[in-house]
A and B are shown apart, each in its own frame.
Chain A
Amino acid sequence: MSKDTFKVGTYEFSSRLIVGSGKYKDFATTKLATEASEAEMITVAVRRVNITEAGKENLLDYIDPKKYTILPNTAGCFNAEDAIRTLRLAREAGGWDLVKLEVLGDTQTLYPNVVETIKAAEVLVKEGFQVMVYTNDDPIVATKLEDVGCVAVMPLGNPIGSGRGLANPFNIRVIKERANVPIVVDAGIGTASDAAKALELGADAALINTAIAEAKDECLMAEAMCDAVRAGRKAFLAGRMPKRAFASASSPTEGYIWD
């Protein structure tokens, strides 16, 4: 069997776990947990430099852009224009063309604003970005985003930071079965079994931040997520047994000593 790699756009990875870099208590922990996750791709946010704190340490002093594929995001953007500006700046900052587009609808749910997301995706694709797009678990929208030219579609499992797992596993499967681009479950994963489930359903990868950063032991959870994604992927490739309504004996039903 050829090596099972995760291909997205012109990029290729061994790991199917993408991690975020938010919410950690300090940069040292971010670095250690990211190493423990064995992820090769890490999301970052684009924000104004604090001009009164010049010379302060930066995330990228700890997360080496030569070692990791940096995936700039548009977190906090509520319209297409802001998202486009943000990613143009990210590309200028580090030369990154693989990006995570998310355009949010409101601050309470952080659900995506699909209309603005599609608008932004159309512009970014034309400008040569390789767009990995955060969206709802809606198969119709997923297809639309693929048609627009996104290199990966990333349906949410549940709201960002909620840790509630996969709300609608059937839709994740439907999205995957209809897709010709990688499907990444992004948001909602709370613990290892959620990540394994996402990959078992056929998702090509999982994007996880809060579940690792808010674990009591961040590095141990990062390892757990690494294992879970691998286990889920293997189970998906192996092809699971059918579910049955009734029992099916595991031991032979002949050769009993009382026959």
Chain B
Amino acid sequence: MNILLNGEARSTTALHIADLIAELGLETRMLAVERNLEVVPKSEYLTIHLKESDRIEIVHMIGGG
């Protein structure tokens, strides 16, 4: 399946958000995920299934003023 992840095309076998985070080797602590402009609550990482052409954003906190 092909998705747009953080603005870049990506091919993935991940079924849901939790799979995708694991595939990327990310820790879920202090991350947030947006799917097609909607925030995905952490409680739904296992229940929301990825679909072809989904636009996913994964963000974290960095230094800023």
B24, A30: Cβ atoms closer than 8 Å: no
Among B7, B27, B32, which residue has its beta carbon within 8 angstroms of that of A89? B32
B34, A49: Cβ atoms closer than 8 Å: no
Counting chain A residues whose Cβ lies within 8 A of the other chain, the interface size class is: 35 or more
Among A51, A70, A73, which residue has its beta carbon within 8 angstroms of that of B6? A51
Report the Cα distance A48→B62, complex, angstroms.
9
A48, B58: Cβ atoms closer than 8 Å: yes
B7, A94: Cβ atoms closer than 8 Å: no
A47, B60: Cβ atoms closer than 8 Å: yes
Among A59, A88, A207, which residue has its beta carbon within 8 angstroms of that of B63? A59
Query: Which B residues touch A46, using CB under 8 A?
Result: 32, 59-62
What number of B residues sit within 8 Å (CB to CB) of A? 26
- Could you tell me which residues of chain B, from 3 to 61, have a CB within 8 Å of some CB in chain A? 5-7, 24-27, 30-34, 37, 39-42, 57-61
- The contact string, 1 if C-beta is below 8 Å from chain B, for chain A 119-162, is 00000000000000000000000000000000000000000110
A210, B37: Cβ atoms closer than 8 Å: no
A94, B30: Cβ atoms closer than 8 Å: yes
Query: Which A residues touch B27, using CB under 8 A?
Result: 55
Least Cβ–Cβ distance between A194 and chain B, in angstroms: 15
Among B25, B32, B65, which residue has its beta carbon within 8 angstroms of that of A20? B65
B65, A89: Cβ atoms closer than 8 Å: no
B65, A160: Cβ atoms closer than 8 Å: yes
Least Cβ–Cβ distance between A43 and chain B, in angstroms: 6
A22, B65: Cβ atoms closer than 8 Å: yes
Least Cβ–Cβ distance between A12 and chain B, in angstroms: 23
Report the Cα distance A20→B61, complex, angstroms.
12
Least Cβ–Cβ distance between A192 and chain B, in angstroms: 18
Report the Cα distance A54→B5, complex, angstroms.
14
- The contact string, 1 if C-beta is below 8 Å from chain B, for chain A 28-68, is 00100000000000011111110100110011100001000
